[in-house]
Amino acid sequence: MANFAKLSRISVPSRNPKIPVSPYAPINLPPASGIGKYWRLSAKAIRLARHGCTNRPFYHVVVMERRKNQHQPVIEQVGTYDPMPNEHDEKLLSFNFERIRFWIGKGAHISQPVAELLGISGFYPIHPRTYMNAWRNRQKAAEVETKVTE
């Protein structure tokens, strides 16, 4: 087994020296594996937590207590969202629908960006904002076209 602790650029304190620490692990971010503590009856939310770095957003779709900051430990990660189009002009999105169902069943709230994404992915009704963006984009495109023709 590779000893990641030796390779790491910055010494990452590990409670158990036998567990290797990846050199690419985020240093200031808690793990996405869901170590967040929560009350049984507290308000949870399914929402985006911004990972990535400067000028390169990347989001985890997470379940957290609604009052908590996005960089605190999460209850569970239920998806990912990459808002920057890749080489095939796709924005990659993944959801764990089973767990999302479970958490909605438990009464978790859903933030607007996640609701939009869920609407596009067919799990939820389409969000009005999606329609609005679409028609505004169409208007803009039409305006550009008329300008070009003139």
Partner 1 sequence: MFQTIIKPINIAVQTKITNTLACVQCVQYHRKPRWFPVAKSKMFRIPERPKKNIDEYNELQRLHKNYNTQVRLVRKFIMNDVRQKQEISSADHVIVTPEEQVADMQRCAELNNAWNASIAENRKQRLEKARAQKHREILARLELKIRQDEIARKAAEEAVRLEKSLAKTFILKHNLDEAIEYALANPSDYNFCINLDGEILHGRTSTNNEKDSAVTAAN
Q: Is residue 66 near partner 1 by the rule CB under 8 A?
A: no
Choose among 110, 136, 105: nearest CA to 125.
Answer: 110
Six-digit token string for 43: 């308000």
Interacting residue with partner 1 among 82, 102, 113, 120 (CB under 8 A): 102
Instruction: Kindly state the smallest distance separating residue 69's Cβ from partner 1, in Å.
Output: 23
Q: Quick check: helix, strand or coil at residue 138?
A: helix
Q: Tell me how far, at minimum, the Cβ of 76 lies from partner 1, in Å.
A: 15
Contact pick of 5, 12, 32, 126 for partner 1 (by CB under 8 A): 126
> Under the criterion CB under 8 A, does residue 125 sit at the interface with partner 1?
yes
Q: Report the site for partner 1 in 128-147 (rule: CB under 8 A).
A: 128, 131-132
SS3 29: coil
- CB nearer partner 1, residue 24 or residue 135: 135
Residue with smaller CB distance to partner 1, 62 or 115: 115
With CB under 8 A as the contact rule, the residue among 1, 107, 146, 148 that binds partner 1 is 107
Identify whether the C-beta of residue 120 lies closer than 8 Å to the C-beta of residue 130. Answer: yes
Radius of gyration of the chain (CA): 20
CA distance 28 to 138: 42
Rounded Cα–Cα distance for residues 30 and 35 (Å): 8
Residue 101 Cβ vs partner 1, minimum distance, rounded to whole Å: 6
Q: Are 61 and 82 in contact (CB under 8 A)?
A: no
**Binding interface with partner 1 (CB under 8 A):** 101-102, 104-107, 115, 124-128, 131-132
